[in-house]
Structure 1
């Protein structure tokens, strides 16, 4: 499938439902992913996963400075197999799967944990993930108002125009830290090469922090992360975050002691204070996308 067909096969609310179902499925097996450094400073990710019916391998590259080459930072494919016969059943556009499943994971976390869902939604970072999260929160939470911040005003304006085309009220903000005081929903999806957010979000805020997915990447100041740990609820997407959640690791937080999204699905819990959801990625999310596609694709 090309990017358009892959996206059409993965509507955000249905994908969030599939991710929740996957977290309840005891047949799911996800080995540790392989991350191979590339000579130019990028990384090659090899991410297999399987359940009783579907097996996948995701092969993608991440090259942070590809924007200077006019190329996307994430490239690759998700290869889907029948787990019983071994037949290849689909080839999905890797960057589209990555964008949509990451946003659907944040959507599921917000459904389970957000103290408020009415917005405004603040998106910090107006790239692929910013756009995907805008679409996911509009489709899955009914968000009606979005504020956008980017280091590139042109990129922010483009995402604002996309939000308005979806029927949302939207505007660009030039000071993301000041905007935190007015937004109970926050998505940080920056390149995560340096701290961008230094102010604490609101006490009724839900934050989905998705930009930093290696121990050396960071978006949020360590002091903010420590304050959220002391006063609020911190949740990570999977146990892989124990060694990948750069924002939290650089703040000296014991990530291994934090609940995962699977824990929240298995045992719904009362939310204490503001919520900080740290997402680092997992091949299980790609398997959920493949399961959704496989169920609706004729053989």
Structure 2
């Protein structure tokens, strides 16, 4: 079992590089199997498979909303990495730690692709593990000098008006701020929801900023922020588009839902680093 500490030790710069290299090398997120959800026990289990000719993997994530009241993490998980030709298991990794590394690394890659090089002021909605991990990941790609953490029920107002980057890392089901407050070049990251009925940003933000997504299919299936804003698939730009230079567009809303290929790429990088 590869521990949480060993997973985290890969670090954000290497995780970001692994994601970028995979996309540059031709990985196609549009061909990914869809995530499955099963309601069990005190919440739900997410099943996230991915693979290519060399490696395969699956993440099982348990999400129990009542856990924080019990003094337990909201999310638990396990990741199994296989040799693809034989399907012999290669490694078992701490799935929660992998998620805490993967999600901010994906966000930071998006920030690196679209944010102004001198972006310095960061506002983060949320005060949980993902919120703090996003601070570190974004610092790996931009010279952040000011960070303000805002609880989902706290006022944002003037802080939004001056922010270069706004990261939404909450379980909110309604928009966290008024998109009209954003600067014209502000970049927004929204990672909290993978449900069509939930969103962290309003329609104004989506329409002002456009949307950068992991894949068009996963976005129109799961990204409530975009679904509720009425965004169509052909309006979306993907990470692969920007990494490969196939479009001049630079959307300023980075909306992610989490995909199996991201876990696979980073889990492989962790195992290789430990070899």
Give me the whole-angstrom Cα distance separating, in 2, the residues matched to 1:199 and 1:210.
16
Give me the whole-angstrom Cα distance separating, in 2, the residues matched to 1:255 and 1:71.
38
Structure 1 segment 194-273 matched on structure 2, within 5 A:
194-200=174-180, 201-226=182-207, 228=208, 232-239=209-216, 240-267=218-245, 269-271=247-249
Note the residue ranges of structure 2 that are not aligned, 5 or more in a row: none
Residue in structure 2 matched with residue 19 of structure 1 by the alignment: 19
Task: Measure how far apart 1:18 and its partner are.
Answer: 0.6
Give me the whole-angstrom Cα distance separating, in 2, the residues matched to 1:85 and 1:39.
33
Matched, 1:178 2:158: yes
- TM-superposition CA deviations, 1:151-209 (whole Å, max 9, x none): 47xxxxxxxxxxxxxxxxxxxxx522331111111101111233222233211111111
Give me the whole-angstrom Cα distance separating, in 2, the residues matched to 1:141 and 1:129.
18
Task: Measure how far apart 1:85 and its partner are.
Answer: 3.6
Task: Measure how far apart 1:67 and its partner are.
Answer: 1.4
Matched, 1:45 2:46: yes
Provide closer, same or farther for how the CA distance between residues 79 and 185 of structure 1 changes in structure 2, counting only shifts above 3 A: same
Task: Measure how far apart 1:124 and its partner are.
Answer: 0.7
Contact 1:116 1:206 in 2 (8 A): no
TM-score, length basis structure 1: 0.83
Contact 2:205 2:253 in 1 (8 A): no
Residue in structure 1 matched with residue 110 of structure 2 by the alignment: 109
Structure 1 segment 136-147 matched on structure 2, within 5 A:
136-147=137-148
Contact 1:249 1:255 in 2 (8 A): no
Give me the whole-angstrom Cα distance separating, in 2, the residues matched to 1:254 and 1:39.
35
Give me the whole-angstrom Cα distance separating, in 2, the residues matched to 1:256 and 1:43.
31
Residue in structure 2 matched with residue 57 of structure 1 by the alignment: 58
Give me the whole-angstrom Cα distance separating, in 1, the residues matched to 2:158 and 2:168.
14
Provide closer, same or farther for how the CA distance between residues 275 and 51 of structure 1 changes in structure 2, counting only shifts above 3 A: same
Give me the whole-angstrom Cα distance separating, in 1, the residues matched to 2:243 and 2:268.
19
Contact 1:177 1:199 in 2 (8 A): no
Secondary structure at 2:133 match in 1: helix
Aligned residues: 270
Give me the whole-angstrom Cα distance separating, in 2, the residues matched to 1:117 and 1:212.
28
Note the residue ranges of structure 1 that are not aligned, 5 or more in a row: 153-173
